[in-house]
Amino acid sequence: MAEMRYLKAINQALTDAMAADPSVILIGEDVSEAGGAFGASRGLRERFGAERVLDTPISEAALAGAAVGAALSGLRPVAEIMFMDFTTLVMDALVNQAAKARFMFGGQRSVPMVLRTPHGGGLGAGPQHSQCLEAWFAHVPGLKVVCPSDPASAYGLLRAAIDDPDPVVFVEHKGLYAMKSEVPDTLPILPLGKAATLREGRDVTIVAYGAAVHTAMTAAATLADEGIEAEILDLRSIQPWDEQAVLASLAKTHRLVIVHEAVEAFGVGAEIAARMADIGFDELDGPILRVGAPFMPVPFSKGLENAYLPSPDRVIDAVRRTLA
Amino acid sequence: MSDATTHRQAGAGHNAAPDLLELYRGLVLIRRCEERLSQMFSEGEVPGFIHLSIGQEAVSVGVMAALTPDDTIASTHRGHGHAIAKGLSLDGFFAELLARETGLCKGRGGSMHVADMSVGMLGANGIVGAGLSIALGSALAHRTRKTGAIAVAFFGDGALAEGLLHECLNMAALWKLPLLFVCENNGWGEFLPTSKQLSFALKDLAAAYRIPHLCIDGNDVALVADHAVRIVAEVRHGGPRILECLTTRVRGHFEGDAQKYRDADELAALSARDPLRIAAGHLAELGFDEAALGGIADEVEARIDVSVEAARAAGFPAFADAMADVYTPAQGAA
Ligand SMILES: Cc1ncc(C[n+]2csc(CCOP(=O)(O)OP(=O)(O)O)c2C)c(N)n1
Ligand SMILES: [Mg+2]
């Protein structure tokens, strides 16, 4: 066991994937000479050469489209979009090209690309550098969406995303980059589409992903003091998501709260709630509740941003409501 | 001997000079395929939208004559000519246009998404300009993988106004990628002349991005092939080039477009620029008579009959098969 930071785990996954497969390349703004705007690709240019670690101009649409073309032509590109907010500029490449190429060309070829991008608030980055837009991509047939919550899962899921034959949007939380935790000496590759149970409990299931997992864990600790035992599921993958794991936990606790930092309305939580209201209807002893951001852009001022982000208190309130 | 013939011989050092009769056969194949589609469309047998490249065939045939099977192309909404000239399966093409399970795309793509990866045809595209970045990435892959191949991006003059085109020109030039930009300048983007859509000429844009640019008559297949052979050799070793082909959109934007917005004089002038007529003229100078050319057309028609009949006999795709193919099936799965 050793301690590893989330950012280092990403860096290690990129390093190991590039060492394992010469067709893996990195492409993005400031990924090469500078080693990434957040440092995720530090040292990779020196190790693998400028031919495989490419700095692009500030041309998100073209770099994402190029990733699709490269993936159709024998490479496994990992593209970085510096902030998830900028994925608005790569929508055509992802939605109309990457997601559909396999299907609309009759399965002739898959599109093995990964688009890494950080989301999330808490850094005072304001409305255009803080958004959580993963639900948009989860809505598009043909894309996979992943969002790890800690260093070990960041490593294991990124390796799996790069190995995966289909396009994966890999969402990192920039507030987690500095997070440190114990990881095994040999980090395993983790399957996409599988949730992890981080805490067992009998009274309520809390499903979360990304940084919201930690909000949920904090809430669970407080609830335990009151004798309420929450079971916490880290979704890890948003598309596909582990319906069976959520259903199995619901069958045990009979109550469900879903937590994410993204805007609550029309979000990932809505999808999970709708599915569980269907296939889990007989298990439910209380309303399915969501805890997400309010319907407003992410504000800048600290007080506003703190009030905006889902807090342990709001999770606790939701748990009390569904148990009431 | 025509100018074009001289050029062809001059280009023979790289790829063998394409034989004019073979080029003519390529033109006839595209023309007859699209005429057949047009007829079947009007009879309700071809579903959806189709955009025909009648009048533009010489660009496809001329450029493709300079490519190897490993070279890749990304195409447009008006992509039948590109696909056929790149050598895609004709049976698979007609079956796709008729939405059959035996189609190249199993009936999931149709006219605007015809692709045949086995011949390096990376797909027609329903999004104006999108093929540019796909070709950019394909060229990057060729360079990274040291395949020696090049990528070709076909695009219309309407796409010159798309921001993505500018990003791609810059990146291709910056990275000196083996990427040939082929602009099919037919003067129209849907129902508006591109003179009313663009504030600049492609040659000025090319100069700004420092990419060598050549503008030629895109309806003279021998001329296109000659230049393409030379330029493709340059691209293979020296980075991006732009080949602008002045050409003619004879049919409407899509089949069923009555083109009421077009000037009668403009339409009347089109036949003089017909690529087949121009090529036949060159061939006549070389001693090929009408009977020889007619024989080619008969052969092509017979070939198309086979593909159309096979497509008609094929079944329609099963929904479950389509559903199972949104993602790559897990290894070991059926
Ligand atoms: C992004 C996008 N915008 C608009 C359209 C609708 N559209 C389809 S073809 C076309 C005109 C394209 O003109 P050009 O590139 O010159 O090609 P041409 O049709 O002349 O071959 C337009 C506007 C589209 N398919 N995609
Ligand atoms: Mg045009």
Residue B317 in domain: no
Q: Which whole number is the average pLDDT over A123-127?
A: 96
Predicted TM-score (pTM) of this structure: 0.96
The distance of A101 to chain B (nearest Cα, Å) reads 9
Q: What is the token pair recorded at B289?
A: 């008579």
The residue type found at B331 is Q
Question: What pLDDT digit, counting tens, does each position of B90-128 carry?
Answer: 999 999 999 999 999 999 999 999 999 999 999 999 999
**Per-residue confidence (pLDDT) for residue B203, from 0 to 100:** 98
CATH number assigned to the domain comprising residue A276:
3.40.50.920
Of A133, A148, A183, the residue that ends a domain is A183
CATH number assigned to the domain comprising residue B278:
3.40.50.970
- The partner residues of B216 in beta bridges, in order of sequence, read B245
Q: Which whole number is the average pLDDT over B298-316?
A: 98
Q: Please report which confidence band the pLDDT of residue B331 belongs to, taking 50, 70 and 90 as the band edges.
A: confident
The protein residue with its alpha carbon nearest to ligand 1, atom 12, reads B189
**Per-residue confidence (pLDDT) for residue B2, from 0 to 100:** 37
Q: Please report which confidence band the pLDDT of residue B13 belongs to, taking 50, 70 and 90 as the band edges.
A: very low
Collect all residues from A whose CB is shorter than 8 A from any CB in B.
23, 25, 51-52, 54, 56-57, 59, 61-75, 77, 92-93, 96-97, 101-110, 141-142, 144, 165-166
Is B145 in contact with A106 (Cβ distance < 8 A)?
no
**Per-residue confidence (pLDDT) for residue B7, from 0 to 100:** 37
Residue among B104, B101, B84, B100 at smallest CA distance from B36: B84
Q: Which residues of A touch B108 (CB under 8 A)?
A: 103-106
**pLDDT above 90: residue B11:** no
Shared domain for A56 and A204, answered yes or no, is no
Ligand 1 site: residues with CB under 6 angstroms?
B 77-78, 126-128, 156-159, 186, 188-190, 249, 253
**pLDDT above 70: residue B206:** yes
Residue B113 in domain: yes
The residue type found at A266 is F
**Per-residue confidence (pLDDT) for residue A49, from 0 to 100:** 98
CA B159–ligand 1 middle distance (angstroms)? 7
Shared domain for A211 and A177, answered yes or no, is no
Q: Which residues of B touch A77 (CB under 8 A)?
A: 137
**Per-residue confidence (pLDDT) for residue A296, from 0 to 100:** 98
Residue A188 in domain: no
Residue B255 in domain: yes
Shared domain for A202 and A73, answered yes or no, is no
Residue B101 in domain: yes
Shared domain for A218 and A90, answered yes or no, is no
**Which domain, by its residues, includes A299?**
196-323
- Mean residue pLDDT of chain A comes to 98
Q: Which whole number is the average pLDDT over A253-269?
A: 98
**Per-residue confidence (pLDDT) for residue B17, from 0 to 100:** 55
**Per-residue confidence (pLDDT) for residue B334, from 0 to 100:** 43
**pLDDT above 80: residue B3:** no
Q: Which whole number is the average pLDDT over B305-323?
A: 98
d(CA B28, CA B325): 36
Q: Which residues of A touch B103 (CB under 8 A)?
A: 106
CA angle A60, A170, B163 (to 5 degrees): 15
Residue B316 in domain: no
CA B71–ligand 2 middle distance (angstroms)? 24
**Per-residue confidence (pLDDT) for residue A100, from 0 to 100:** 98
**Per-residue confidence (pLDDT) for residue A1, from 0 to 100:** 85
Is A57 in contact with B126 (Cβ distance < 8 A)?
no
Phi-psi region of A254 (alpha: psi -120 to 50; beta: other; left: phi over 0): left
Question: What pLDDT digit, counting tens, does each position of B238-248 carry?
Answer: 999 999 999 99
CA B190–ligand 1 middle distance (angstroms)? 6
Active site residues of A: 60, 129
Residue among B185, B215, B217 at smallest CA distance from B282: B217
